[in-house]
Amino acid sequence: MANKKLFEPYKIKDLTLKNRIVMAPMCMYSCENEDGMAGDWHYTHYTSRAVGQVGLIITEATAVTPQGRISPQDLGIWSDEHVEGLSKLVQMMKAHGAATGIQLAHAGRKAVLEGEILAPSAIAFNGDMKTPKEMTDEDIQETIQAFKEGAVRAKKAGFDVIELHGAHGYLINEFLSPLTNKRTDTYGGSPENRYRFLQEIIEAVKEVWDGPLFVRVSARDYHPEGLDVEDYVSMAKWMKEQGVDLIDVSSGAVVPAQIPVYPGYQVKPAEAIKHGADVPTGAVGLITTGIQAEEILQNDRADLIFLARELLRDPYWPRTAAKELRVDIEPPKQYERGWL
């Protein structure tokens, strides 16, 4: 093994990842009966990336309530019935040496579902989407409890990592941003109040979960009156104090906006949060080559490399990156003849 950081093990609490390559959560919209159950697509899709030698695989946004789904085809974890399918998925991924994570999520006002949808304030995402109901205190407490129960089920299913979805304009993100949170109670107004919903979710989850805990954030709202990286440096300090182990740094999607996209466009925010809050971060966003990933790690800009679309194109990307970086990695036994 050459001294390439991308293929060095990485330890978080009692979990050691075999390398620093993470499959980022990506919605698959593939539950066949609108019941949130894992099925054949999920088993094939995720297990193939484990065979491909990804170090940590984080499954797609998994809804903690039925109304918290982005679409009717989303994975769910709102009932004990979901545990069996997720447990099978975990076992299949672990059989090939991958660590496993689950992203617990609530879509908030971006849910495209029948019936009532919820948000901190009754503002639609755009002219084509439904106006949400402003959450009552009771709604808020029920949702926090749903995240806690989701964490209990994630533990039962055997996941190694929980990630809370606080990005991309979904419910937690909607509370954090002043563009979407116009509340005048204890959950709105000041930065501390807007953070309170996430704070209470983290507290509730940590009552039942002592494994690695990540939070995904959108570090830029791309709007002059929205949040930017320095705001998230402050919030990342609060998350670190609460025992969050890593911030997965994405950006955008809380309001419609023009986002300038280019290779590594979200690495700078990951770097700023890592050093500004002294907390480990994951970098994501148009990272496509081993050399690019290695640069990010060697220059101490982030601690883990989260790949999304590149792993859709190439389930065996770790092999591709290893060849590029001239690192020998152990192939799956069944593929030795082809991987040499």
39 assigned to a ligand binding site: no
Residue 166 labeled ligand binder: yes
The angle, 0 to 180 degrees and rounded to 10, between the axes of the packed helices 82-94 and 40-51 is 20
168 is in an annotated binding site: yes
CB 306 within 8 A of CB 298: no
Whether residue 166 contacts residue 216, with contact meaning beta carbons closer than 8 Å, is answered with yes
- Could you tell me if residue 241 is left (phi over 0), alpha (psi between -120 and 50 degrees) or otherwise beta? alpha
275 is in an annotated binding site: no
Q: Would you say 61 is a known binding-site residue?
A: yes
Any known ligand binding at 69?
no
Q: What is the CA radius of gyration of the chain?
A: 19
Cβ atoms of residues 132 and 122 within 8 Å? yes
Is 183 labelled as part of a ligand binding site?
A: no
Has 337 been labeled as part of a binding site? no
- Judge whether 165 is annotated as a binding position: yes
Cα maximum dimension of the chain = 64
Handedness of CA 115, 121, 122, 126 (dihedral sign): negative
Are the CB atoms for 177 and 125 separated by under 8 Å? Answer: no
Q: Return the C-alpha torsion angle 166, 172, 175, 176, nearest 10.
A: -20
Contacts of residue 119, defined as CB under 8 A and 6 or more positions apart, other chains included, come to 108, 109, 132, 133, 134, 135, 171, 174, 180
Where is the binding site for FMN, in residues? 61, 103, 216, 308-309
Binding residues: 29, 61, 103, 165-168, 216, 308-309
Residues tagged in the binding site annotation for substrate = 29, 165-168
